[in-house]
């Protein structure tokens, strides 16, 4: 992956609605030259299922409303392209599951879907079930009619998302077919979506167990043989994230968004500095994604009875959440948790710009911190345009995360691109992409508790320094090649 800023976007929500329009925007339009790569959020058939494309009916087919595989391949000639391999599940409307429902054990897909009794052949005790980690209330099972009987099938996320038995030959063949299809289209990086839940074992939490790492290693080796890098998406206690990062190609720095907010809300850099000292360098740095702002990522280890502390104390974490709600005029509260029938209780749904109360200087300071940390920066399409909460979409869908999933028309992109905050963000992106010091050595310079000074330098004399004052919400850039430096 190029050491340049990456874009993450839905194909149909940025500038025209299909792959060709997005390609034109990146190649010839207002986003020309801004990004070294683009992560296309699920573009498979269909993009508008129960979970915005994360419940594919056909993972090997591009939704016809977006284009086809030739359009994907054409885009790879302009920027590097990342795609999602939805490892854990597929749609209950998939032809494989419908065939299994109709024919039962006679179906060629009989081993593809994970049954409860596959993991618990002798039945499950109460403590077995209560020990299963799930990012939703309730148990991860749904009864389905299958041929002449009913079966209890694993559904970790929603009843419409049937978990795959990734250890079964049929599960392995299914996932391998996705990798091959991606490689043929020129995709050179994949994100393993929901991979932390892929391996289930009786007597365990069924989340990020030792066997999960073995599965990731084997899948990553298969991907590398096809010339594909692997990004693992895990929301978890920060120490676990560090452990995961040591065993994979790339991880997300999901602790960064809430820590940046904490620093700006409280005028202190101390928790952020502590995280910078231990965070994995093989990270994609983010401030926003298609999901919410993670809370679990900096909180205490909820799965540990000994009570391992988080990166910030519980009271400060609670205050951070309340500050987001206040800054967004209560809009994020309407989109978070049961208030919007959204069961992601470990995230706050809000655009990052609104989480900061639409403060341009604070927003750009947050982006500068993101761009200066080791790793590769990724910018979400709504954040790229300093987007505001989409309350109309939330009202229509009642899906909390839709508050941060606006559909931008070409006219809206053109208008947003004229805003000062967006133009200055574009300048920061270009600086991050082109300054040679970012390919050198990183260090945190001594500074006061409310300051954060980050330096990149090379042996040949290239240097760039970010001097941030979290209390004043100001920053200065100095170094070689900078105007006025």
What band does 163 get if pLDDT is binned at 50, 70 and 90? Answer: very high
CA–CA distance, 477 with 464 (Å, rounded to integer): 7
Ligand-binding annotation for 435, yes or no, is: no
Active site residue 443: no
pLDDT of residue 485: 44
Ligand-binding annotation for 117, yes or no, is: no
Ligand-binding annotation for 401, yes or no, is: yes
Catalytic residue among 163, 165, 193, 297: 193
Ligand-binding annotation for 188, yes or no, is: no
Q: Quick: pLDDT tens for 54-92.
A: 999 999 999 999 999 999 999 999 999 999 999 999 999
Nearest to residue 253, comparing CAs of 275, 230, 271, 223? 275
Look up the CATH superfamily of 6-86+169-440: Glycosidases (3.20.20.80)
Is a pLDDT exceeding 70 seen at residue 306? no
Residue ranges of domains in the chain: 6-86+169-440, 95-162
Ligand-binding annotation for 26, yes or no, is: no
CA–CA distance, 294 with 348 (Å, rounded to integer): 7
The CATH code belonging to domain 95-162 is 3.90.400.10
Ligand-binding annotation for 41, yes or no, is: no
Q: Quick: pLDDT tens for 23-49.
A: 999 999 999 999 999 999 999 999 998
Ligand-binding annotation for 163, yes or no, is: no
Ligand-binding annotation for 99, yes or no, is: no
Is residue 296 within 8 A of residue 235, CB to CB? The reply is yes
Ligand-binding annotation for 192, yes or no, is: yes
Is a pLDDT exceeding 50 seen at residue 5? yes
The CB-side HSE value for 163 (13 A sphere, CA atoms) comes to 28
| Angle, vertex CA 65, rays to CA 92 and CA 8, nearest 5 | 85
How many other CB atoms are found less than 10 A from the CB of residue 346?
16
pLDDT of residue 304: 55
As a whole number, mean pLDDT of residues 152-164 equals 95
Is a pLDDT exceeding 80 seen at residue 339? no
pLDDT of residue 344: 53
Active site residue 301: no
pLDDT of residue 265: 98
Percent of the chain surpassing pLDDT 90: 85
As a whole number, mean pLDDT of residues 433-446 equals 97
Range scoring the smallest mean pLDDT among 148-157, 289-298, 340-349: 340-349
Ligand-binding annotation for 168, yes or no, is: no
Average pLDDT, the chain: 94
Catalytic residue among 163, 233, 297, 463: 233
CA–CA distance, 219 with 223 (Å, rounded to integer): 6
């Amino acid at each position: 992956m190029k050491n340049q800023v990456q874009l993450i976007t839905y194909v149909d929500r940025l500038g025209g609605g299909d792959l060709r329009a997005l390609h034109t925007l990146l190649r010839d339009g207002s986003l020309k030259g801004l990004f070294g790569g683009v992560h296309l959020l699920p573009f498979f058939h269909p993009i508008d299922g129960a979970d915005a494309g994360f419940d594919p009916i056909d993972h090997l087919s591009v939704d016809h409303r977006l284009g086809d595989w030739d359009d994907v391949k054409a885009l790879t000639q302009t920027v590097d392209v990342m795609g999602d391999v939805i490892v854990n599940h597929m749609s209950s409307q998939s032809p494989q599951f419908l065939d299994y429902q109709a024919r039962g054990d006679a179906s060629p897909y009989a081993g593809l879907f994970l049954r409860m009794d596959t993991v618990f052949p002798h039945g499950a005790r109460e403590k077995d079930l209560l020990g299963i980690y799930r990012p939703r209330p309730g148990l991860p099972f749904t009864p389905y009619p299958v041929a002449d009987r009913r079966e209890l099938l694993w559904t970790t996320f929603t009843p419409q998302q049937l978990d795959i038995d990734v250890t079964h030959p049929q599960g392995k063949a299914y996932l391998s077919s996705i990798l091959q299809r991606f490689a043929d289209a020129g995709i050179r990086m994949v994100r393993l979506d929901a991979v932390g839940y892929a391996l289930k074992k009786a007597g365990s939490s069924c989340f990020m167990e030792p066997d999960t790492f073995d599965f990731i290693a084997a899948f990553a080796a298969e991907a590398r043989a096809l010339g594909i890098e692997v990004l693992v998406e895990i929301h978890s206690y920060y120490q676990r994230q560090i452990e995961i990062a040591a065993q994979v190609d790339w991880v997300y720095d999901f602790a960064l968004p809430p820590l940046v907010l904490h620093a700006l809300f409280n005028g202190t850099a101390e928790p952020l500095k502590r995280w910078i000292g231990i965070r994995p360098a093989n990270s994609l740095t983010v401030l926003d994604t298609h999901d919410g702002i993670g809370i679990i990522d900096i909180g205490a280890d909820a799965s540990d009875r000994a009570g391992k502390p988080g990166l910030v104390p519980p009271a400060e974490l609670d205050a951070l959440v309340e500050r987001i709600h206040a800054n967004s005029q209560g809009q994020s509260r309407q989109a978070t948790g049961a208030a919007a029938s959204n069961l992601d209780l470990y995230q706050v749904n809000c655009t990052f710009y609104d989480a900061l109360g639409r403060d341009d200087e604070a927003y750009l300071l947050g982006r500068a911190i993101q761009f200066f940390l080791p790793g590769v920066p990724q910018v979400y399409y709504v954040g790229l345009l300093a987007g505001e909460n989409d309350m109309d979409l939330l009202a229509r869908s009642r899906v909390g995360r839709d508050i941060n999933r606006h559909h931008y028309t070409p006219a809206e992109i053109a208008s947003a691109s004229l805003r000062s905050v967006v133009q200055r963000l574009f300048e920061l992106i270009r600086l991050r992409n082109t300054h040679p010091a970012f390919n050198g050595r990183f260090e945190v310079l001594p500074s006061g508790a409310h300051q954060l000074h980050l330096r990149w330098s090379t042996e040949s004399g290239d240097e760039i320094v970010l001097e941030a004052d979290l209390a004043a919400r100001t920053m200065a850039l100095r170094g070689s090649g900078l105007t006025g430096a």
